[in-house]
């Protein structure tokens, strides 16, 4: 078997395990919060601000008007964000395309992404998934969560205290 085929199979298995894990968590765990009857989710955005993402080379900018946090990331992650931001369709599906297809097949939606904190120079984020009346706060690497949010046209929020402490003026 060629190297490229082994790599595709490996990525497919990763996506499949990821989606099956989400499905099992959503449908088998009785401790998930339910949506309120009026359709508003119980996920609070108090203390969070919606941001825009800009990508240049190996740097991303988490931007709120004239304030931004600039983070250097590996080129592959920056490329994935650039492709998602510009809605570029590549020749072969990426791991993100496969994840989105599996999410659609199992009626799982991404609601939003929250960048929550910075500890030991590592950013932490949560992706909020929903299916029927269940929601899941899933800890994800921020770059992966942002790629999904950009591909699905979903909002990305950042903790206002984090933005205030780490951002610099760019205007």
Give me the percent of the chain exceeding a pLDDT of 90: 57
- The model carries a pTM of 0.76
Element (H or E) spanning 7, and its range?
Answer: helix 3-28
Q: Is 87 helix (H, G, I), strand (E, B) or coil?
A: coil
16-20, 36-40, 62-66: which range is least confident on average? Answer: 36-40
Give me the mean pLDDT over the 18-29 stretch.
Answer: 68
d(CA 159, CA 40): 20
Q: Residue 37: its pLDDT value, please?
A: 36
Q: Where are the alpha helices (DSSP H) in 29-168?
A: 75-85, 95-105, 142-151, 160-166
Residues 6+ apart with CB under 8 A from 133: 34, 35
Domains of the chain and CATH, by start: 3-169 (3.10.690.10)
22 vs 100: CA distance, rounded Å = 12
Helices 75-85 and 142-151, axial angle in degrees (round to 10) = 20
pLDDT digits (tens, 9 = 90+) for 94-147: 889 999 999 999 999 999 999 999 999 999 999 999 888 788 889 999 999 999
Query: What is the DSSP secondary structure assignment for residue 66, as one 8-state letter?
Result: T
**Residue 8 has what pLDDT?**
79
Q: Is the separation of the CB atoms in 32 and 26 below 8 Å?
A: yes
**Nearest in space to 41 (alpha carbons), one of 137, 122, 161:** 137
Per-residue pLDDT of 41-57, as tens digits, reads 447 888 999 999 999 98
Confidence of residue 33 (pLDDT cuts 50, 70, 90): very low
Q: How many CB atoms lie within 10 A of CB 120?
A: 4
The per-residue pLDDT for 39 is 42
Residue entry with tokens 């929550």: 116
């Amino acid at each position: 078997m060629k190297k490229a085929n082994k790599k595709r199979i490996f990525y497919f298995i990763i996506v499949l395990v990821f989606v099956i894990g989400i499905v099992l968590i959503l449908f088998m765990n009785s401790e998930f919060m339910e949506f309120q009857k009026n359709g508003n989710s119980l996920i609070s955005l108090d203390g969070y601000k919606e941001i825009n993402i800009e990508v240049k080379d190996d740097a991303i900018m988490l931007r709120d008007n004239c304030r931004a946090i600039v983070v250097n990331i590996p080129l592959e992650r920056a490329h994935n964000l650039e492709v998602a931001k510009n809605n570029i369709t590549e020749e072969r599906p990426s791991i993100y395309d496969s994840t989105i297809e599996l999410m659609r097949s199992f009626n799982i939606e991404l609601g939003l992404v929250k960048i929550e904190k910075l500890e030991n120079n590592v950013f932490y984020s949560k992706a909020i998934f929903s299916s029927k009346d269940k929601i899941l706060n899933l800890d994800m690497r921020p770059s992966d969560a942002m790629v999904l949010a950009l591909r699905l046209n979903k909002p990305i929020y950042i903790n206002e205290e984090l933005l205030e402490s780490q951002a610099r003026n760019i205007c």
